[in-house]
Amino acid sequence: MSASSHPSAERIRKVFVNDIYQLDQNLPAWARRSHPVVKRELGMYWRIMPPQLELPVKAFGVQAIVILATLAVPFLITLLVPMVLVSFAVLPVALYGFARVIYDIANDASRAMTDEVENHTLDLLRTTPIALRELLLSKLAAALWKQSEPFSLILTAASLTQMPVLFILYANQFPLESFTGTAQFVSVIMLLLTLVRLPVDVFMVASLSQAIGAQTLGRGAAQASSIGLMVIYFVLVNLPRLLWYDPFWRVMVDGVLPIVTAAGVSWMSLRATQHHLTRAGRA
């Protein structure tokens, strides 16, 4: 029987051959794989699947409902104990995976910019109609696209395993007898902020590494500087979590502060790279 008699087979072929670019049409133009700079950076690996968000969103919704349901049915808390054991078992693997993604993004972003500067190909790119800011953003997007699939796995793992750990953590800080409902609400908010923080963090790593690569001679020096700064950043941004806070400030310090800080570092890094390259182009 011919393939044309199977509509499903034809649809699969259409998706993977003709519609591959349509998967990221909701992204800004500079972040799409069809952008010439992104496609140039990805080369033959441009057919990368975007992060799958459906499962993390559903997992968050289900777990949020279960956690909040413990307010009316406290017995559900006992069901979280086995899930905590699973979460702790998965945690080291997830942390290693996230560290590996951060390491690879820092290396790719810094190396790509260092190579452009040292090979004088950046000057050639700047003769195109593409604005410098768009060019830099597209190079960042390419570095992130290369880690799309492992990042998708990390996002899924975080959405499936972190809620029990967060609930036990905040239930110890805010005992259920003294702070009725606090641990539940803080856990749900913190899981949401954690899922938002992951993509913000990886974009920050890429933008900071790109800034270092633009101003550092030598691929090895740029990569080492990027990794070193990443370690210092994550240590400093997590130090305030060691102190005790009331529920509001706990959410602010544990959840909001890292997101705002990472977003600020990303913005400053991009501005610094753009300013440095503009001055270098005038010299």
Distance CA 69, CA 166 (A): 16
Helix, strand, or coil (residue 66): helix
Q: Give pLDDT, residue 7.
A: 54
The percent of residues in the chain predicted with pLDDT above 70, rounded, is 90
**pTM of the full predicted structure?**
0.86
Give residue-wise pLDDT tens across range 60-90. 999 999 899 989 888 888 877 778 888 888 8
Section 102-126 average pLDDT? 90
- Asked if pLDDT for residue 125 goes beyond 50, the answer is yes
Between these two residues, 276 and 19, which has the higher pLDDT value?
276
Distance CA 62, CA 57 (A): 9
Instruction: Name the amino acid, one letter, at 120.
Output: H
Q: Give pLDDT, residue 90.
A: 85
| Position 34 confidence tier, pLDDT thresholds 50, 70, 90 | confident
